[in-house]
């Protein structure tokens, strides 16, 4: 990695500029020579994150929303596990968005998402998100193009509302190659303990790889804003993916600079007996 910009800048999709996923190397591993070196760096970041999260929770002035999107096997679950390891679970909420229920389909597509946004002091993590409604919905032609195309503007307005209400939004696209996806799917098949994760439907979705890449390109390009930026994270190397995302989260928390509330006055002379 010859670019020494902060990761918040290095991997950010610049608003109004757009992104070319084919020009971004999912195998990037920065200046690290291997997994061990990166894991040591991640360990230090986790220690910083634990301290910052404690202050953020006590500060009680803002919330953070992390959005994780990826193609199948992209590593959303692994990111949550390894980046948030050691943090206080009392201050973290994870929400997963699968096929909408009948109740959810009876409302607007953002209804189920808005309910899950994090309150003050919490770090909320979306494992998939409202972007499914311009990804899966688009690729599988579940609604007319005129419907899904207007959703980019609606999503931007929704995220602007959250930002104006005190939520810091970080959106991560975990960028893997088609070859890496094949390797990970085969690894699931070969491991009896992981075969439960494999579905024949994964192969059908894989046939739509190019369609999904086009849909992601539009979502990343049209919905990366100053108030809710997208980050394209090289994710073929899981250890580098974890390090970059942890780094961006720590950079963001440091910029927010949360502080412990001032204690009550007159505590210095109290002795608990």
CA-based radius of gyration for the chain: 20
For residue 230, what are the β-bridge partners? 171
Query: Computed from CA positions of residues 211, 201, 103, 70, in that sequence, does the dihedral angle turn out positive or negative?
Result: negative
Is the entire prediction scored with pTM above 0.85?
yes
CA end-to-end span of the chain, whole Å?
A: 58
Q: For the chain, 273 residues long, give each residue's pLDDT as a single digit of tens.
A: 345 567 778 899 999 998 999 999 999 998 888 899 999 999 999 999 999 999 999 999 999 999 999 999 999 999 999 999 999 999 999 999 999 999 999 999 999 999 999 999 999 999 999 999 999 999 999 999 999 999 999 999 999 999 999 999 999 999 999 999 999 999 999 999 999 999 999 999 999 999 999 999 999 999 999 999 999 999 999 999 999 999 999 999 999 999 999 988 888 889 998
Spatial strand order in the sheet of 230-234: 92-96, 123-127, 63-70, 167-175, 230-234
CA gap 4, 10 in Å, rounded: 8
CA gap 159, 102 in Å, rounded: 25
Domains of the chain (ranges, CATH numbers) = 12-255 (3.40.50.300)
Among residues 261, 252, 231, 247, which one has the least CA distance to residue 64? 252
Among residues 91, 80, 85, which one has the least CA distance to residue 55? 91
């Amino acid at each position: 990695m010859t670019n020494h910009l902060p990761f918040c800048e290095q991997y950010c999709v610049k608003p109004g500029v757009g992104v070319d996923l084919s020009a971004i190397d999912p195998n990037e591993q920065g200046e690290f020579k291997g997994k061990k070196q990166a894991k040591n760096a991640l360990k230090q970041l986790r220690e910083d994150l634990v301290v910052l999260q404690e202050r953020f929770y006590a500060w009680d002035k803002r919330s953070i929303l992390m959005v994780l999107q990826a193609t199948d096997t992209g590593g959303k679950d692994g990111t949550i596990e390894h980046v948030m390891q050691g943090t206080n679970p009392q201050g973290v909420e994870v929400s997963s968005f699968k096929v909408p229920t009948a109740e959810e389909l009876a409302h607007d597509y953002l209804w189920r998402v808005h309910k899950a946004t994090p309150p003050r002091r919490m770090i909320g993590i979306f494992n998939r998100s409202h972007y499914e409604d311009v990804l899966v919905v688009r690729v599988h032609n579940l609604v007319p193009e005129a419907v899904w195309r207007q959703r980019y503007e609606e999503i931007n307005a929704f995220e602007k509302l959250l930002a104006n209400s005190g939520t810091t939004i970080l959106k991560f696209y975990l960028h893997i190659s088609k070859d890496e996806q094949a390797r990970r799917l085969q690894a699931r098949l070969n491991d009896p303990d992981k075969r439960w994760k494999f579905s024949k439907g994964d192969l059908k979705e894989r046939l739509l790889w190019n369609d999904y890449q086009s849909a992601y390109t539009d979502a990343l390009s049209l919905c990366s804003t100053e108030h809710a930026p997208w980050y394209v994270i090289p994710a073929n190397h899981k250890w580098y993916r974890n390090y970059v995302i942890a780094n961006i989260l720590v950079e963001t928390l440091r910029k927010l600079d949360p502080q412990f509330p001032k204690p009550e006055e007159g505590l210095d002379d109290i002795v608990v007996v």
